[in-house]
Amino acid sequence: MRKFFQFFEDRNKVIAHLKKLGWLGFAFFLIKGLLWILIPYLLAKGIF
């Protein structure tokens, strides 16, 4: 019975870790996408 509960504790840790990676991935690609828009705009304006 103890192994049964240990399985769910480990599973919850893995799920929490994957959710954290998901948020980091989302933030990374959001910033990357905004830079893809911002840099050509600044180049066209002659600021960068």
Domain boundaries, the chain: 1-48
Residue 7 pLDDT grade (very low, low, confident, very high; cuts 50, 70, 90)? low
Residue 42 CB neighbours (<10 A): 11
Six-digit token string for 7: 């399985």
**Cβ-contact 42, 48 below 8 angstroms:** yes
Cβ–Cβ < 8 Å for 39, 48: yes
Confidence of residue 12 (pLDDT cuts 50, 70, 90): confident
DSSP 1-48: -HHHHHHHHHHHHHHHHHHHHHHHHHHHHHHHHHHHHHHHHHHHHT--
16-42: per-residue pLDDT in tens? 887 888 888 899 999 999 999 999 999
